[in-house]
Structures are given as structure tokens and as C-alpha cells.
Chain A
Amino acid sequence: MEFSIYRFNPDTDREPRMQAFTLDDAMVEPGMMLLDALILLKEQDDSLGFRRSCQHGVCGSDGMNINGSNGLACITPLSKLKTPIVLRPFPGMPVIRDLIVDMDNFYRQYREAEPWLVNDTPEPEVENLQSPADRERLDGLYECILCGCCSASCPSYWWNPERFLGPAALLQAARFIEDSRDQDTERRLERLDDAYRLYRCHSIMNCTQVCPKGLNPAKAIGDIRRTMIKRSL
């Protein structure tokens, strides 16, 4: 099985290059994921850099660009990929080394969304109550694993990473706006009501297409907009 992998090490390279790797077909087992292959390729060349941890799509470490589309290596079956498999770091994010990108700005935008519950009423001795229907409104929002696949596939985020929060952070914003226990809705909406932070989203939908968890940031962004309009009326 053939691979073509983006290589760049700032310590030794001036320019990035694509390096060909071959994985012996005998080593390719049925059901094997791309991450399994990468680990075997790293045995051939231990300088090949990529992040990984949980191996089943919940920690969000191994996001990368796979044959032109962002995804998680650990839940991408080799059998579904055309060869040579072309692997690049996320587009639009600064490359640290090989497939490893600098996600500082991505995390900064996440923090900008103030992703924590705000509730200033005196704490009850037991749980806050929430109806199953209210809780269901968080489904599709809270499951984000911060892998970055969405924001790194969003042209608006590529062009304005400093000012546009990007789909991942906006999904978080929606998660707290929708939470019946949160009391900061008004201020959250005000903070987002900005030509860049929210409104740079042009509904290109790449985010939704690539999300490895099947979430729909585009819809969440649309819902925030609708809530804003309703409030302004």
C-alpha cells in the first residue's frame, strides 16, 4: 500500500516535501485503520511526526488531511481510501512538524466562546433540574472532541482565523446558549453579534461534511443567528 506524506521539520528542512512510504500488503489486515498504518510507517522512520492517543475517535488528537479531506486517522478505514493515500497537516493552520499543526489559535477561539456554564443563583444542595426535552437540545452540541477537523476545513476560518471564531468554537457557544441551566444567554449573544465572530460564516457547510462525530456546526451557527434575530424583534 502506497502513501504520500507531507514532511517538514523546521530543525532540518527549509521547505516542506511529500515523502513516499510503502506498507507491505502482508501487513495490512482487514478492518485496519489509517492510524494503525501510520504507527507501522513510523517504525520505518521514527522521525515521522503525528499526534495520537485514544485510537477510537474520542480524544480528537489525530486530525489530519486525508486524501484532501479532514478526518481522524484512527477511525478512517484503510479499505475506504484510494491509494496512494495522501496525508497532509490540516490546511489553514501553521505547521509545527509533519502532520502536527499549531492549534493555539483554535484553542484561543474556543476560550473566546466562554465555554463554561454560568449560573449565579444560590447553589442548590442537589442537582439543578432539567427536563429530558431541555437536555435533548444539547445532543449534537456537547459531543464535540475539539479535533479541529471542522475549523481547519472552513474557508472563512482560513481567511480570518484571528477574528472569526470558527465552527468548533461556535458549536460550543451554541451548546451553552441552548443549555436551560445557563443564565448568560443575553451576554453570550451580544458577544457574538459581530461582523466577524459569528457572521463570517457563509454556510459553506464544509464543517458539517467533515465532522468525524457527525455533528452539525453549520446548523448550530444558523440556530444562533435565528435566536439573535428573534431577540432583536
Chain B
Amino acid sequence: MNITVRKFDALIIGAGGAGLRAALQLSNADARVAVVSKVFPTRSHTVAAQGGVNAALANVLPDSWHWHMFDTIKGSDYLGDQDAIEYMCRAAPKVVYELEHFGVPFSRLDNGTIYQRAFGGQSQNFGQDQAARTCAAADRTGHAILHSLYQQNLRARTHFFDEYFAVDLIKDDQGYVLGVVAFEILTGKPIVIEAKTTLIATGGAGQIFRTNTNALSNTGDGMAMALRAGVPLEDMEFVQFHPTGIAGRGMLITEGARGEGGFLINGEGERFMERYAPKVKDLASRDVVSRAIAVEIREGRGCGRNKDHALLDLRHLGADTIMKKLPGIREMTLTFLGLDPIEQPIPVFPTCHYSMGGIPTNRDGQVVVPVKDTPEDPVPGLYAAGEAACVSVHGANRLGGNSLLDILVFGRAAANHILEYLGENPHHRALPQDSVDRALERLARWDREGEGEAVEPLRRELRKVMEDHCGVFRTAEVMREGVAKLQTLRERIDQAVIRDHTQTFNTARVEALELENLWDCAIATMHSALGREESRGAHSRVDFTERDDERWLKHSLYSLQDDALDYKPVRTQPLTVESFPPKKRVY
């Protein structure tokens, strides 16, 4: 088959914050960079981030990167890698100032500096008073950042492949990753994009759960591509349930709503977080607040006719604060619930929000895999950043405001390392045809006609299986059933067909390929969750209720090829400061 081949120095898959921050760094350094995205860049899910980005600017209250580091490690339930966390927290002020210089319309304090608000899990002086570390553009921070980054990339003349779907990585027999096989959604035509380096920045896989805050496009495409290229995924059992999704619908109500002073109440009108986190109450870590809501409901203290949700009360904040600081969430509750938070509390429920796990990388964004005795050997030419990656700065539970930070810091760091790599590897390697052919086969598989199940019902079933068998509270028995159900689903997916076999903008084909990616991410999540016999961060086992540092202070690695789990140690040694040893987490 005659297939178009394009060549670049650096390829970036995904045009959210991580991808665009990396692209900008590379374009500004005069590298030939291509960004492939299945949606127009400003439709990427970074656009939906609301509350803000953490950086110890100390504009409102005293702050330091070291306190930020402590909070992040504690928030991670000590599973985060302390070298990467130190790196991120030190870099935070710089990347936020850079953003401001790029034009991000941050909200402002009276003295003209960037507005910062309080978020969950933030403290001054290693666990003392509440900090205010989250830099915000009203409650549309992700939108403001994504659009500014895209605009800067336009200025830098980055090359975009808009609405191209990446199918699979190209890898030669010496393990070098040399680009991707993709297809243009508009024409259905496959294309080989050859590159000396490939950065996966495709975001998370929130769509594996039925109720989630994520875009429909968050189908874990990059994670699944990595799995199929023989890269294991790290810590996939750690899925963040955001405490305040709109009950029954899933749309996100930012933690900034509680940061501004909002609080949760149960069916008895009680501010129940006072019982679970006496000190910081509603601003405890997300895992703690989500579990508290789930427990309240389970014990019969839910709100509403079915006692199946909690209420988020903002009324006491007053119209002015709500209109100025939380205009986006007001707009959303008006649209989806016909409810004005100035007058009524918002029904909320913990909702799948974020994948802490992902493609294992070091703090330079290089993808690392275990080889013989080395747990972290770089895959030459392959990088990952953002939610698709696991660096791991979030460990078992991410702090609010750290995801926008993660994408900026590590998108940038990956680009800097890519520039180094390009210096040392100036030439394209030979394209391995067998690897290209395998990707094309995966694409051609959906040309199959005849009888078979349809994609959408299978997708629905998969999401239901994950919700029922791998939700907020987990047990071995229920997860074992879940694994079996997923395996049956896999056989059915392999037999599924789409009816539409035309070429022009065939969305049925895109959704079919996404379903396969979802399954790969789902099985990695279920197996990793079943494997980890302890409760830590977002992973709560009813049959193993305690954290067990002796056995489990380690990262999970799930490999699809071997259908097996492996583990690697947590990097407890920071770059320059002393290690924070595991302690009991109290908020």
C-alpha cells in the first residue's frame, strides 16, 4: 500500500497542556515539531480544568516550594517519587510566571499580582495553617492556559495535524520508538509520521468509568498505545474520585468552590467533614473527602429523596464572590440543574476524575521500563508527560491544582530532554516495516463486515463493569469477577463490527479504536487494583483496610503482553533536601 510518510525531529501526540507546552519549547528552539491531535487543540480536555495551578508564589500567604513538596508527598500517601516532586515544586513558580508572560489572563490581587486561592491538602510550614497556593483565572484556569499555549504555538508556527487519530507507535527491533501510524479523520487515509522522538501527551482514561468528569475523548489512547508497544503501565489502580461531581451527571464542581469557603452537608444538615478531618475539614485531600461522602451515604445520611448524594453549600459566600470567582460553575449548575448556587446548595457525589497512574517516566519525561536488574531503563526516543504519564508526582492521590502544574513542568522538561536527545541522535533510523504493518492491521480490522455486536453498547458495559467492580471501595472477590467480565468483554470486542465503512470523517471507526484503548486501560486498572492488598490514597480495599508500607511502598507495573504485574521501588530520595518518611496521614 502506498502510504504518505512525513518526517519530523519531534512528534507530540496530544494537544492538551502537556503537549502544547512541550511543542512550544521545541518550536522556540527551532526543532521541527509536529503535534498530532484527534480533536482541534483547544478542544483538548485541559480546557475543562477549573480551579487553578499550584505554585508557591506567596502572593496571598507565606509559602515555599518545600512546603508544597511536603503537602504533595503527604497527599500522595507517600507513594509519590520524591525526586520528581521536589523538581516539580521548585519549578512551579517559574512555569507559572512563564504562563503569565504567554498571556494567560490570571485573576489579580489588588497589588496586581496573580490571584491565589486555597485548595485541599495545602499547608504552611509542613502541615500547619492552610496555605493559598492555587493560581487561578476565575474558575476557568484550564481554558485560559490551553488557549494561551495554543496561541503561542501559532505564533511559533508549530506544525499541527488537527483531527488525526494516532493508531500505534512504530518501534524497531532494538527498541527505538520512531514515530506513529495515524490516520486523517477527514479522509480516512493512513499516514506514517516518522520522528526521532515521540512524546505521548494524550491525557487520562476517565471514560473507563460510567460516571466521570471527563471528556468523551479521554479514552487513554496513549496509555493503550504504550501497553501494546510493550511498555507496562504504572500505578493504574490509583484513580481519583473527585468529591464534587454533580450528582448523577458527573460534571465537575471545582475544589475552588470549597477553597473559597463552600462546605459539604449531609442529609441531617451536618457539616460532616468536621468529623473526618477536624483541622482542615472540607479542604482535606480528595481521597479523604470522597470516602467521607461515600461513608455518609452508606450509613444512611445522604441527601435527597433517595439519600444518595451530599450537598455543597455556597450560599454564605454571597452573590459577589460566586459571580466573580466561580462564574463557570454557576453557569454549569444553572444549565444542568436549573439551580443557582447563590440560592440553593448543589447536589454532589464522588465522580471518577483523574488517572494518577500511567506510562512510567523519569523526571526528564523519558519513558522507563524494567530491563533485567534495572527497574528504570529509558526506551530510546519515547517520552510521556501529563495525565498519560506517571512520573510519579501524584502517587496514590493527587492534590487539586497539581495536575495543571504537572503538565506544564513535565511537558517542558520532556521537551528540554528531547532537544538533548536530538543533539545526540541527529539522524532518522530505518523505518521497521513490520511495525508499520501491525498498526495498519489494527486499523484494517474494523473494515470487517457482517454480523457482530455494535461498539456503543460494549463501551457502556465496560464502563459499568469498572464502576461496579473497581469503584471507591474494592474487594478481591468483586474485582476477580470484574477481571472475568472484562475478559469476556474482550472476546466480544474482538468480534464487534461497525456498520459505517465509508472514509470521510468516519466517527464510528474512531469510537471503535477508542473502545479497544479503553479496554486496555480498564484491564490494567482492574489487575493493578486486585494486586495491591492494602488501602492507600485513592485505593480503598475493604478487605485490606490499612496502609502497609512494609509490603506495599512500591509502584505497580502492569504489562499487557505478559498479562502480569511487576513492582518497582518508590524513589524516596529527593534531589537536595531530606526525605519525608511515611507517616500516618491526618488532616
Query: Contact: B47 with A59, CB < 8 Å?
Result: yes
A173 nearest CB across to chain B (Å): 12
Top 5 A-B residue pairs of the complex, sorted by shortest distance between their CB atoms: A117-B103, A129-B112, A47-B500, A46-B508, A11-B502
Query: Contact: B112 with A126, CB < 8 Å?
Result: no
A45 to B454, CA, bound (A): 10
A132 nearest CB across to chain B (Å): 5
User: Which residues, 15 to 32 on B, are CB-close (under 8 Å) to A?
Assistant: none
**Per-residue 0/1 for A127-158: is the Cβ within 8 Å of any B Cβ (1 yes, 0 no)?**
11111101100100011011000000000000
Task: List 27 A-B residue pairs with CB atoms under 8 Å apart, sorted by A's residue number.
Answer: A12-B502, A43-B454, A43-B457, A46-B455, A49-B505, A52-B216, A56-B251, A59-B43, A61-B43, A77-B335, A116-B103, A116-B155, A123-B101, A126-B113, A127-B97, A127-B101, A127-B113, A128-B101, A129-B111, A132-B109, A132-B112, A134-B108, A135-B105, A146-B42, A176-B103, A179-B105, A213-B331
A148 to B389, CA, bound (A): 33
Q: A31-B336, A111-B154 are in contact. List 18 more A-B contacts (CB 8 A).
A: A9-B504, A10-B504, A31-B337, A42-B456, A42-B508, A47-B508, A53-B45, A53-B216, A100-B505, A116-B102, A117-B102, A117-B151, A127-B97, A128-B101, A132-B110, A143-B140, A179-B103, A213-B331
A126 to B109, CA, bound (A): 14
Q: Which residue of B lies closest to A127 (CB)?
A: B100
B403 nearest CB across to chain A (Å): 16
**What number of residue pairs across chains A and B have CB atoms under 8 A from each other?**
159
Q: Which of B48, B113, B500 has a CB less than 8 Å from the CB of A129?
A: B113
Interface assignment of B186: CB less than 8 Å from any CB of chain A? yes
Q: Which residue of B lies closest to A137 (CB)?
A: B105
**Per-residue 0/1 for A151-194: is the Cβ within 8 Å of any B Cβ (1 yes, 0 no)?**
00000000000000000000000001001011000000000000
Task: Return chain B residues, CB-CB under 8 Å to A43.
Answer: 454, 456-457
Given A116-B152, A135-B107: A54 in contact with B43 (beta carbons within 8 A): yes
Interface assignment of A228: CB less than 8 Å from any CB of chain B? no
A232 to B448, CA, bound (A): 66
Interface assignment of A92: CB less than 8 Å from any CB of chain B? no
Interface assignment of B133: CB less than 8 Å from any CB of chain A? no
Interface assignment of B277: CB less than 8 Å from any CB of chain A? no
Task: Return chain A residues, CB-CB under 8 Å to B154.
Answer: 111, 115-116
| Number of chain A interface residues as a range | 35 or more
Task: Return chain B residues, CB-CB under 8 Å to A107.
Answer: 40
Interface assignment of B503: CB less than 8 Å from any CB of chain A? yes
Query: Contact: A53 with B43, CB < 8 Å?
Result: yes
A128 to B425, CA, bound (A): 39
User: Which residues, 49 to 92 on B, are CB-close (under 8 Å) to A?
Assistant: 57
A96 to B332, CA, bound (A): 31
A66 nearest CB across to chain B (Å): 15
B530 nearest CB across to chain A (Å): 30
Q: How many residues of B contact A (CB 8 A)?
A: 62
B155 nearest CB across to chain A (Å): 4
Query: Contact: B505 with A138, CB < 8 Å?
Result: no
Interface assignment of A85: CB less than 8 Å from any CB of chain B? no
Q: Which of A46, A59, A134 has a CB less than 8 Å from the CB of B48?
A: A59
A141 nearest CB across to chain B (Å): 9
Task: Return chain A residues, CB-CB under 8 Å to B109.
Answer: 132
Given A46-B498, A53-B45, A142-B105: A61 in contact with B454 (beta carbons within 8 A): no
Interface assignment of B556: CB less than 8 Å from any CB of chain A? no
A45 to B215, CA, bound (A): 22
Interface assignment of B106: CB less than 8 Å from any CB of chain A? yes
Given A31-B249, A59-B47, A135-B108: A9 in contact with B155 (beta carbons within 8 A): no
A166 to B45, CA, bound (A): 26
A213 to B140, CA, bound (A): 12
Interface assignment of B128: CB less than 8 Å from any CB of chain A? no
